[in-house]
Amino acid sequence: MNRIKNVLTITALATLLFGCARGTHIATGKKRPPLKPEDVILYQVQPSKFAFVGIVNSHSSGKGQMSMDASVQKLKAHAAKKGANGILIGNVDPGRESTSAGFASGSAFASSGGSYGSAVGGGSAFGVTSSGIYLSGKAIYVEP
């Protein structure tokens, strides 16, 4: 039983810390052939000449730099699929965390919407909820 509890706790913590990045895109401009995500450049200031390709969004369920990096990579992947070689960064929401504590009797493990907690043999449970990281931007094509 202890082994199952340990595996569940480690899995929950890994998911909480590293999360999974996912995202969406909307085509708004001329369709272009796909590019490699590593060829996509992030811009804070719009270049002098560019064409709009679409809108890209990304969400990572974790918090911290590793989750931010995963979210940025997903944003680049969506832009590259649409043939964009740049992203004008729009909304950046680094997320928020909250903690909670409670009491349980028996053995319990719960997971819901990024919140994880566990208690064994009666006692207290501790949970952390993270809203995750949200990024959005305008996928653009800048002539080389």
Question: What is 30-73 written as a DSSP string?
Answer: -------GGG-EEESS--SS-EEEEEEEEEESS-SHHHHHHHHH
Higher-confidence position of 105 and 133: 133
Look-up of token digits 């590259």: 80
pLDDT tens-digit profile of 54-82? 999 998 888 788 988 999 999 999 999 99
| pTM strictly above 0.75 | no
Planar angle of CA 120, 122, 127, nearest 5 degrees: 65
Higher-confidence position of 7 and 30: 30
pLDDT computed for residue 12 by the predictor: 44
Higher-confidence position of 104 and 45: 45
Q: For 29, phi and psi rounded to 5 degrees?
A: -125, -160
pLDDT tens-digit profile of 78-119? 999 999 999 999 988 887 655 555 555 555 555 445 445 555
Average pLDDT over the chain reads 74
